[in-house]
Amino acid sequence: MRILESFFDNVLVLELFEKVDNRGSKMVNFNKDEIGKLNIDFEIKEQRIYKMPKAGTFFGIHYQEMTHPQAKLISVIQGKGLDYIVDLRKDSLTYKEWKTVELNEDEPKVIYIPAGYGHAFLSMKDNTIQMFAMNEYFIGGCAKQINYNDPEIGLKLPVNNVVLSDYDKNAPFLSEL
């Protein structure tokens, strides 16, 4: 595991090492000692797998209240998607700025997103599968969302018609929080 890119001071894109032989390939998505060598203190408390049958499926912008901060590790194990990271740290010089990283099955990467950031994901291929690990348990009352069309953030999606849940369609704008 090594750092490919970093932005917003502490968001990291990490390369996973792949071992290939006549049986196929193997990647280690998480190893506490290896990630610790990169000065990341992360222990998985909950892990989810999201299956997106249609390209254009969109999740986000989601974040956890800072009363229950949560860091995440995001990867794609099948298909392709765009991961969006939004800086929601109000005291940050990059507050409301966002970055996107392509994740796909052919280039094994994982994104480390510390607490204080919003996260969104757009599937770019049918049958995309995302793996999502958190260092704290999900607490429903602390999970929040921001409308992806919020003009203060200005998120740009490369597709016009996205598949959204009502939860995300009806998400508040920053000015409403």
Amino acid, single-letter form, for residue 134: M
146 touches 154 (CB < 8 A): no
Instruction: Render pLDDT for 161-175 as a digit per residue (tens, 0 to 9).
Output: 899 999 999 999 999
pTM greater than 0.85: yes
Instruction: Tell me how far CA of residue 88 lies from CA of 94, 95, 101, 119, 174, in angstroms.
Output: 9, 6, 17, 10, 10
Residue 55 has pLDDT above 80, yes or no: yes
Instruction: Render pLDDT for 145-154 as a digit per residue (tens, 0 to 9).
Output: 999 999 999 9
Instruction: Render pLDDT for 59-107 as a digit per residue (tens, 0 to 9).
Output: 989 998 888 889 999 999 999 999 999 999 999 999 999 999 999 999 9
Residue located via tokens 């599968």: 129
Alpha helices, DSSP H, located in the chain: 32-36, 166-169
120 touches 61 (CB < 8 A): yes
112 touches 34 (CB < 8 A): no
